[in-house]
Structure formats: C-alpha cells, structure tokens
Amino acid sequence: MPNSAGSTREMVKIAVKGWGEREVPAGTTVMEALKELSGKLYKEAMAVRIDGTVVDLSTPLREDTALEVVTFDEPEGAEAYRHTASHIMAQAVKRLYDKNVQLGIGPSINEGFYYDFDFGDTLTVEDLEKVEKEMHKIVKEDLPLERLEVSREEAINIFRERGEDYKIELINGLEDSDRITCYRQGDFIDLCTGPHLPSTGRVKVFKLLSLAGAYWRGDESRPMLQRIYGTAFPKQKMLEEYMQRLEEARRRDHRKLGRELDLFSLHEEAPGFPFYHPRGMIIRRELERFWQDEHRRAGYVEVETPLILNRELWERSGHWEHYKENMYFTRIDDEDYAVKPMNCPGAMLIYKMGMHSYRDFPLRVAEMGLVHRHERSGTLHGLMRARSFIQDDAHIFMLPEQVEDEVEGVIDLVDRFYSVFGFTYHVELSTRPEKSMGSDEMWERATTALRAVLDKKDISYKVNEGDGAFYGPKIDFHLQDCLGRTWQCGTIQLDFQMPEKFDLHYIGPDGQKHRPAMIHRVVYGAMERFLALLIEHYGGAFPLWLAPVQAVIIPITDRQHSYALELEQLLLSHGVRAELDDRSEKVGYKIREAQVQKVPYMLVVGDREVQSRTVAVRHREKGDLGPVSIEAFLADIKKEIEHKS
C-alpha cells in the first residue's frame, strides 16, 4: 500500500483464533482488523486476548500477533462492557451535578456495575431516571474511549484540576507504578487500567437499579459515599431476563422468608448476630445430624474447643499478626484473650495432648465450632454475612505421602453432600497471597499437591493467583443455585505452616520425630450462610427431611378432632414432625395457610376418613393425592425422609 511519498507501509500478520490469518498495515487497530475480517466478529467483540492479557479493541497492531476475540459471553468480555457502562454513568453524574460531586471508584461486578460518589446533596432513587436519561445521550454521542498513559505527576495534576481528591489518593497509593493509566471519553476522564469498549455507542442496553451507602475504601472511619448500582447487556431480551431473575431473587430473599417462615431474626441490639427461632433450630439440627452421620462414616472423630483463648496462642498461630483486625478481644485476669475467629488453634492443642505414631494417620478431627469475626457493618447481610456463625470445620493430620489421598477423600465427601441438596458447583484453586507465612518451597509443594489431585480426578478449575489463605493454598467449591448465582461454601486448605508453628510431630517407622502435614476443610462453610443459601435455593419450600413441619393435620369440623389428635400423636411417635391445626377456620383457609408456610403434606380428615381410618392427602406442589390409609402414608413419608428425596 503506497503512501504519498511512494514508500510501502510495513505489513504485520495477525492470527485470529478460529478465524485464520491475514496481513494488515502496521498500526492498524484490532477493531479495524476485525471489521475487515468479519462484520459479525467485529460486532460481537468486547476486547481481545493477546499473550494471555485482555486488551482494548483500540490497541494498535505493530508486530505479528496471535489474538483471541473476547465476547460478552466470557467474564472478561462482560467486564469490559459493564466497566464502560460504569464510566458512562460517572460521566452522566458529573454532567448533571458538576462541582457538587467527587468520583470514588466504579468497577464492574457479577451481572452489573456500580460507582461510588461523594455528593454535596443526597441523591434519591427518583434521581436515577435523570442519570439514566443523560447516559442515553452519552451513548448516542458515541464518544471514543481513549487510553492514556501519563506520569504520576501528570495524573495528579489532571485530577487536581478537576477537584478529584479520591483519585489523587488512589494514585498516591500506586507506589510501584511510574506510569498511570487513564481513560478519556469526551470531557470526562477517569483513573482506570481498562480494558474498555472502543466507544460509548457500543453500550446498547442498561438500567440503573438502586442506591446504597458505602464507606470510602471500606473503612468505617472514612466518609460515607453514595453507591449507584446498575447493569448492562448487549440485548434488551437479556436485560428483561435479568430483571425477572432479580424479581425472583427478591421473592426468595432469605431475610424475607426467614421472617415469614419464623426461622430466625436479626436485632439492632446485636447487629450481625443471628437469633434462631424454634423452626430454624429444627433445620439447623437436621443439617448438623446429617453432617455428623456422614463424617462418622468417613472416619472422622468429633471434638469441641473453647470460645475464648489467650493471646499467646493466637500469636503462635499467626492470627494475631495476619488476622487481628477481624477479631474480638477481652481481658481475663489481666491477660489478653481473643474470641476465636477460627477453630484450628484449638485443634492443635488437642493434637499436642498425645504422642502420635505414623500408624495413627490419617487422623481426621471434626468440629462444629462457633466462631466470631468482626465484619464491617456495611458488609453485613442477614445470614449470608454475619459476625457469629458455626463453621463445620475439620482438621486432618497425616503423613506427607497421604496428602493427595486425603484431599481426594474430602472432594468425594463434598460431592456427596452437595448432590443431596441438588447443587452443581465449580472449583477454584487459590495460590499464595502477598501477606503469608512460610517458605517458597513449602508453598510450591502444597500447591503442586492440590493441582495433582484436581488433575487426577479430571476436575476443571479456575486459578486465583494470590487468593490463598495466609498459611496455605486452597481449593474452593462454588455452588450454583436455582437462579444461576454462585456461592463459595466448601474449601480445602493444605497447610504445612501450622504444624511448624505448633511444633507438631509424630514418631515415624524409624523411631524419630517427624512433622505431619495438615488439611483444614469445611463442607457447609458457615452453617448460617449455608442455611441462607438453602432458603433461597428452595424458596423456603425445604425438602421433606429438612422441613420444620412435615405434615399438618386439618380436621374439617370439631367432630374429627379426636381422630386428628390421634393422628398427630402417631406421626410424632414415628419421628414425623406433625402439627394439628384445630382452629375454627374453614378448611380452604387452613390449606392456604399451610401452603404459605411451605408445609410438604396436608392431611385433611372428615367423617369419611374417620370411618375408614384414612387421610385425604394434599402435597404442596402435586396437589390432591386422594385418600390413603394411615399405615401407607406413614410408610411412604418415613421412606421419603430416610432417603432425603
């Protein structure tokens, strides 16, 4: 391609995964190259992946490059799309409120985005419509998003001129970076690493959802900012489906259902500390009983450790240094103590009480332990995020050569549990965090062992670099509920550090002392969080074995009261949680009440049932099942409970 001087522009070769190769002039942007290659590909692309890094479509191609198109269907593509939407929202807010607002941060999140603002005046929900309208104007203007790399001093000057103190604070916190990345769209500029869509016009469908308060940088001592939540999709149909899921999630909110079904409550007198009601306790005890039975079968022994332990222990475990900000403290006999945020140090003390031989291993020690963690008030969310909760902990002490077999055994146990509740899940492997203890060799050894088990069992997994526990790498299990949302519950943490810290040892075949390896693991995770997840997953309609009331007996008139009472006592004597509704109300009203309370079975009895010693059975989902003998109903319901159907 000759230029005006008669010379030829240098050509570079691009290889697009799944689309082949072609040559383009050097300096051509990725977006231009994709447009020439395929109109469909150009429209669907949100960004591209080059050498494993996701970059903007506006990136110029200056050398031979292999690239992979990233669409909205991939997490990185949705992130670029929604992050661009958050910038559009921030620009709209700045246009509308100008000097009365400062920018905080505005990332994309799962299925949406948010932006934090420091407003001179309080924004109301009614103002969101105005912001949305301004966003549509910005989209229509189709402003290019330009990536800028400037010096630290330049970046500070840019945001100082704009009165953006929070941005300057963020820049000053980037100690390891001499070049600062910003994005500009029209008259708006933001501190950001990207990637973003090439222009505002590429964001087709969006909606602002709600307002919330958020402390700057999550610190309760810092200013409270206003956070606007929104979502964005490439197609209107996708937004409509999302809004339907959102409405269904509100209907299933565990806090709402917890009140309606009388399972638990939360009170201002104890923020973040749940109160279990009788029906909630029934569910919790059933979950605990199932947990105990399965662990007994899997070769675990159960222990209980104290709630409060002294400072020296927490210093030895590393929690005092690495976890102190999340702990509660007290003084006893002029000494410092802490309320336990984790159960593991107590398990170490129990281990040290005896002399252990290599023949004792593996030693699987389980504990349903109550723990307390100082969560920030702004992060509390019903049972999902509480300050006190029961952790279904276990600590496995083993020979180093038993590590892979034990990790595999825990994975099988976790799979057994989740299949009973009908959950699918995906797995993530988290590696050494920046704030951690132990040698590189120990961490590499532990991480390699976890990888080996996942590979052996042919389990696909995502790697979260730097997201492990401070004492070891971990495998996390993320459950998917009926609405497609994911929740991290189970975890397996491999630890070579605690045995060192607590000087744990065993006597080997050679008669010498050796150091055991150790696994920390949970299945439910936190009992409270798992219960919240079950409430929302089932919409309060628990499977029969978990239902607080499994059958309600409904006499049609007072004449059947004696027979109904006999039925109640019979069911109770066989371990069925039954209740008699003998209120002076119409049968239809009582049935509707039982339906609202999600009771699995309604047993209606009239004169005919009394004479034939039967019950007219109704199921909360299947409706009227007809008359059944007492013996047949009892046999069926006991079988359903036993099999956890």
Tell me which H or E stretch contains 99. Answer: none
Whether 87 is catalytic: no
Is 322 a catalytic site residue? no
Please check whether residue 230 is in contact with residue 80, taking contact to mean a CB–CB distance below 8 angstroms: no
Check: CB of residue 46 under 8 Å from CB of residue 81.
yes
CA-based nearest residue to 149, from 196, 181, 195, 189: 181
CA atoms within 13 A on the CB side of 617: 22
Q: Which of 87, 279, 284, 373 is catalytic?
A: 373
Q: Please name which of 552, 571, 564, 579 lies closest in space to residue 610, comparing C-alpha atoms.
A: 564
Establish whether the linkage from the previous residue to 60 is cis, with ω within 30° of 0: no
Task: Write out the two tokens for 44.
Answer: 């669907």
Catalytic residue selected from 182, 192, 344, 489: 344
CA distances to 270, 608, 623 from 620, in Å: 36, 22, 6
Strands 146-151, 179-185: parallel, antiparallel or unpaired by DSSP? antiparallel
Determine whether 267 is an active site residue.
no
> Do 42 and 30 meet the contact criterion of CB atoms below 8 Å apart?
no
Catalytic hit among 254, 319, 395, 577? 395
Catalytic-residue membership of 393: yes
**CA atoms in the 13 A half-sphere facing the CB of 560:** 27
Buried b (16+ CB within 10 A) or exposed e, 155-192: bbebbeebebebbbebbeeeeeeeebebbbbeebbbbb
Q: Is 293 a catalytic residue?
A: no
The CA distances from residue 355 to 304, 359, 476, 504, 505, in Å, are 20, 11, 33, 10, 8
Given the residues 207, 254, 372, 520, the one annotated as active site? 520
Which SS3 state, helix, strand or coil, does residue 39 take? helix
Q: Pick the catalytic residue: 116, 127, 190, 393?
A: 393
Biggest CA-to-CA distance, the chain: 107
Whether the CB-CB separation of 581 and 552 falls below 8 Å is answered with: yes
Of 474, 529, 577, 618, the catalytic one is 474
CB under 8 Å to 633, separation ≥6 — which residues?
603, 615, 617
- Closest by alpha carbon to 492, among 386, 362, 403, 367? 403
- The whole-angstrom separation of Cα 600 and Cα 573 is 19
Tokens in use for 571? Answer: 């069911």
265, 267, 270, 272: CA torsion to nearest 10: 60
Sequence letter at residue 337:
Y
**Which value, in Å, is the radius of gyration of the alpha carbons in the chain?**
30
Catalytic positions, written as ranges: 344, 373, 391, 393, 395, 474, 520
